Amino acid sequence: MKEQVIIADKLSKRFGQFMATNQISFSVSAGEIFGFLGANGAGKTTAMRMLCGLSIPSEGSASVAGFDVYTQTEEIKKNIGYMSQRFSLYEDLTVLENIRFFGGIYGLSDLQIKEKSDALIQQLGLEKEAKKLVAALPLGWRQKLSFSVAILHDPKIVFLDEPTGGVDPLTRRQFWDMIYAAADRGVTIFVTTHYMDEAEYCDRISIMVDGKIDAMGTPAELKKQFDAQNMDEVFYQLARGAKRKE
Amino acid sequence: MRTIRLLLEKEFRQIFRNKSILALILVMPTMQLIILPLAANYEVKNINLAVVDNDHSTSSAQMVNKIVASGYFKLCASPATFEQGMELIELDKADLILEIPAGFERNITREGSEKVFLAVNAINGVKAGLGGTYLSTIIKNYNQDILLKWAQASKIPAAPQINITASNWFNPSLNYNFFMVPGILAILVTMVGGFLTALNIVKEKELGTIEQINVTPIKKVHFILGKLIPFWILGNIVFTIGLLVSYFIYGIVPVGNLALMYAFVIAYLPAVLGFGLLVSTFCETQQQAMFIMFFFMMIFMLMGGLFTPIESMPKWAQMVAQFNPVTYLIKVMRMIVLKGSGFRDVLPHFFTIILFGVVLNILAILNYRKTS
């Protein structure tokens, strides 16, 4: 059995009376692309923030890259990359300046940063934009850049929160090529999405409804389990039972 | 160190790209230092005086001349009756009415005394109070002049009197600018530093970029230093601009040591920056931060001894002023600029202000959470 890089056991987060994430348990092995699905407000982002060390759980336990989410949040942060729902590179810095800043924060040397940014610029085809402010980039490019910055320091695991929201189909395809390339290098991918075709690209997926994980397995297994033609149907069957409104 | 260098690099790039912030930092203090001292002046001038002269004598004319020659009063009208004078006050055209009774000259010469009547429009308390006092003083002086003249004429020894000779230490010409400009500069340094720090961090919260920072292994202390140092440098730049404005526009040359002034500002800035930082850790939006900062800035400004002396406040307000960092900067600035106080004189204030800085920054670091 492969090394388990994320293990969650009855992980919960409560905000007052509200159980945002209710006793979720799962594990993700190294190098896996793990899809984390669920309707808006199902608790995906809350769960992801707990795993990233941004939010302390209320109950349950979890470890990420072998570190505890309660006590070793800063150790976790050294080993992961994170791309939030909102675009969170500095729009008033240029592409190169962003790469330099985030690379440097993770402790890359000037030489490493130089090599990596050259490679990255070339790979993304951003030669002309390298010295432009990020604010001037179209959304698709920004998202690709965010992802590249998130994996710049070669983390063990990268968390992607709806990375392709609002992006055109062609760019989404390219985005997933980048995800596959990272996974091939051994990076574990933990990704949330609302696109069911993207769910099919994952090795394994879980579907959250009202703060709980209602289904988990490979896309093929889930389709069989719910007697569905595609992931869309699986999702509808589960999400229809949801009580939480947006 | 490398992390801090990277943070500084990023912060300065962002500041220099944001033209409106840059203008705020450079132009605002200059403009305010030019405009505000004109308003923050307690000297009352151009008081509108209406004289009802019922005597029309040489003496009454002499007295009125003396009043107008003082430079504080403008003779706005010479109504025939007191009632007409009152109308002028009601129309807000006159601030003071001086009524000289008929037989003024005669009574002075024959009986040696006479009463004049003064009516004051007290809507503006300061103007009324000061105006009334100035006028009384001038009339008293006139009174003495007459006494003196008679004494010489009649060879009778004049009534004994006490002459007061005042010498104004530290600000001999009683120039208000010398007093107000250093105080206003203290406020400006505080405002620029406090507001910029608070708004800067809250802006990162609004944009969501702080989350990207929080998910990195960056140390809290590094992040906070990365935010403090740029604004600490900017605070010193604002202070320098302010000193240049005070020199070139108001001709203010600090009596004391310039290096000591800088040393105090350098020690003082971490306190206000730490305060801005602390406010930012409590706020989620720039509006919240703005309002909270305004609330405190108003208190800092009005209770820091800039306009009204702290000693004349009630005891409880004096306690509040003790917890106002601006109090110390204003005090020390005035001590050094006007009095030329040395290091020993301001040393206690150094300790106090450094304590402020340490406490506020520790609170800010404790309250800033990378993990919520």
Residue A111 lies in a domain: no
Judge: B17–A92 Cβ closer than 8 Å, yes or no: yes
Q: Residue A104 is nearest to which of B2, B213, B215, comparing CB atoms? A: B2
What distance in Å separates the CA atoms of residue B117 and residue B191, rounded to the nearest whole number?
Answer: 48
CB contact under 8 Å between A93 and B215, yes or no, is no
Query: At A1, is the pLDDT very low, low, confident or very high (cuts 50, 70, 90)?
Result: low
The residue type at B188: L
Give the pLDDT mean for A115-144: 91
Pick the CATH number of B47-154 from 1.10.3720.10, 3.40.1710.10, 3.40.50.720, 3.30.70.20: 3.40.1710.10
Query: Residue A42: inside a domain, yes or no?
Result: yes
Global ipTM: 0.90
Q: What percent of chain A has pLDDT over 70?
A: 98
Q: What range defines the domain where residue A174 resides?
A: 4-85+155-239
- Chain A residue numbers touching B215 (CB-CB < 8 A): 52-54, 77, 80, 82, 84
So where are chain B's domains? 2-40+172-367, 47-154
* Chain B residue whose CA is closest to A150: B212
Cα B178 from Cα B220, distance rounded (Å): 42
Q: From chain A, pick out residues whose CB is under 8 angstroms from the CB of B203.
A: none
**Residue in chain A nearest B372 by alpha carbon:** A55
A106-115, B102-111, B166-175, B253-262: range with lowest mean pLDDT: B166-175
CB-based contact, A74 to chain B, within 8 Å: yes
- Alpha carbon of B221: minimum distance to chain A alpha carbons (Å): 13
The strand pairing partners of B96, in sequence order, are B49, B120
The string of pLDDT tens digits covering residues A153-207 is 999 999 999 998 888 999 999 999 999 999 999 999 999 988 888 899 999 999 9
Please give the Cα distance from B195 to A129 (Å, whole number): 34
> Which of B3, B16, B215, B223 has the highest number of chain A CBs within 10 A, making it the mutation to test binding with A?
B215
Long-range contacts of B341-348 (CB under 8 A, 24+ apart): B341/B256, B342/B256, B342/B257, B342/B260, B343/B257, B343/B260, B346/B260, B346/B264
| Of A226-240, B111-125, B266-280, the least confident | B111-125
* CATH number for position A204: 3.40.50.300
In chain A, the number of structural domains is 1
Whether residue A93 and residue B370 make contact (CB cut-off 8 A), yes or no, is: no
- Domain assignment of residue A96, yes or no: no
Q: Which residue of A has its CA nearest to B10?
A: A101
Q: Residue A96 contacts by C-beta under 8 Å, 6 or more apart in sequence?
A: A117, A121, A130, A131
Chain A residues touching residue B212 (CB < 8 angstroms)? 82, 84, 88-89, 102
Which whole-number Å values give the CA distances from B59 to A65, A105, B53, B114, in the listed order? 101, 86, 11, 12
Any residues with CB less than 8 A from the CB of A107 and at least 6 apart, and which? A153, B217
- A53 within domain boundaries: yes
Global model pTM greater than 0.90:
no
